[in-house]
Structure 1
Amino acid sequence: MTGAAVAGFLLGGSLIIAIGAQNAFILRQGLVRSHVFVVCLIGALSDALLIAAGVAGLGTIVARSPVLISVVTLGGALFLFGYAFLAFRRALHPHGLEAAKRTAGSFWAAVTTCLALTFLNPHVYLDTVLLIGGLSGGYEGTARLAFGLGAGVASFVWFFGLGYGARLLAPFFAKPIAWRVLDVLIGLVMAFLAIGLLARFFGE
């Protein structure tokens, strides 16, 4: 059972470490120290919920519904394009860390954005529900549960480490140019993910 938990932890960690929409948002919140705990908690709990659903067998059901996959893919692409636009617009007017703290946004804005970046991003479902859920099928009974728990723990470790570890970069982001670079990179990541989703959708 321990081996299954370690395998789940390593798989979950390898899937979420790549810079994506959710990670980029939590990194930014960590840098401005705005609602860090709640966005980290939302990211970790959301992943854990989707992993649990995948391990319980939902991944197989979703994979068999072309209509559901199409709706999630197109909706996610549109949302990512919108967030990319906002990031590029911020890059045109960069600011230092202190200014960023004053314009960090409200609690509910942070919550809704984090939820949207999580549940409107098809990659989240591919990684958690389909991939982790599918691979958990190689285990039975308590080993399968341990595999899912391991993957869930990896999410908690990563998101809280990312959100609070971002503070170590605060001196670098005191300079406006650093924010311009970050927002351009975030915009490019969002746009790249959206284009990839559309390419996959229309290529099928």
Structure 2
Amino acid sequence: MTAAFFTGLALGLALIVPIGAQNVFVFGQGVTLGMPRALWAVVGAAVCDTILIVLGAAGTSALLDSVPGLRPAMLIAGALFLTYLGVKSLRAKPTELDDETGVWSRGQVLRRTMAVSLLNPHAILDTVGVLGAAITAQAVGTRLPFAAGAVVASWTWFLVLATAAHALRRFMTKERRVWFDRISGLILLVFAGWLAIEFALTFTGH
């Protein structure tokens, strides 16, 4: 069972650690809001991953392919939302950072983080599809520790990410934070474009 836990932990980290819209967003919250507010971004991202991993373990990965139009709808919704976040970050100005930490509520952080997580088809395919298939491929007695390892990987990684971002705040002047926001916005727009291209390809048969 211990081996199954660490195998799930390793696979979970392998899927979650690579840069993606979810990681960019959580890291950005750590830089912008600091602790403890950024912990709500950690909770939002990790709870979404946990739910998706449980759904994958329950064998719902086939639903992604069986429901007509589900994947294109997810792709275009994700592209539009990431475009909104990207443009908003690109338009950041030093004067807008004065009271930014006071404006954000827990609910706003949670809602936006969960939207980034659940409107990201690649994250869903990784958690529901890949991890779900890996969990169901395990022997019955090792499925629970394997899934627990994957869940722990998600919570641990997002906590480390937000903590590292918070630590950077001491070196971030307003001007540097603006440029960080703009770079984050560009990355989010790249992911939005990627999703939009995949959406277009669903109608061309490629």
- Bin of the TM-score, shorter chain as denominator length: 0.7 to 0.9
Aligned-partner SS, 2:56: helix
* Alignment check: 8 A CA contact 2:64 2:71 kept: yes
Which residue of the partner structure matches residue 201 of structure 1? 199
Distance in 2 (alpha carbons) for counterparts of 1:76 and 1:115: 12
Which residue of the partner structure matches residue 177 of structure 1? 175
Give the residue type in structure 2 aligned to 1:80. L
Instruction: Tell me whether 1:55 sits opposite 2:54 in the alignment.
Output: no
Q: 1:167 to 1:102 in 2, by over 3 A?
A: closer
Compute the displacement of 1:95 (Å).
5.8
Matches within 5 A, 1:1-204: 1-31=1-31, 32-33=33-34, 35-90=37-92, 93-94=93-94, 99=98, 102=101, 104-173=103-172, 175-203=173-201, 204=206
Q: TM-score, normalised by structure 2?
A: 0.87
What is the RMSD of the two structures over their aligned residues, measured on CA atoms? 2.1
Distance in 1 (alpha carbons) for counterparts of 2:134 and 2:13: 14
Aligned residues: 200
Q: 1:96 to 1:167 in 2, by over 3 A?
A: farther
Distance in 2 (alpha carbons) for counterparts of 1:141 and 1:47: 22
Q: Which runs of 4+ in 1 moved over 6 A?
A: none
Offset from partner CA, 1:3-24 (integer Å, 9 cap, x none): 2221211111122212322222
Give the residue type in structure 2 aligned to 1:178. R
Gaps of 5+ in 2: none
Compute the displacement of 1:101 (Å).
5.1
Aligned-partner SS, 1:45: helix
Q: 1:183 to 1:120 in 2, by over 3 A?
A: same
Q: TM-score, normalised by structure 1?
A: 0.88
Distance in 1 (alpha carbons) for counterparts of 2:24 and 2:76: 21
Distance in 1 (alpha carbons) for counterparts of 2:134 and 2:110: 31
Higher mean displacement: 19-28 or 67-76? 19-28
Distance in 2 (alpha carbons) for counterparts of 1:187 and 1:29: 13
Higher mean displacement: 53-62 or 106-115? 106-115
Give the residue type in structure 2 aligned to 1:65. V
Compute the displacement of 1:117 (Å).
1.0
* Alignment check: 8 A CA contact 2:28 2:181 kept: no
Distance in 1 (alpha carbons) for counterparts of 2:188 and 2:101: 25
Compute the displacement of 1:176 (Å).
2.6
Distance in 2 (alpha carbons) for counterparts of 1:171 and 1:33: 10
Give the residue type in structure 1 aligned to 2:30. G
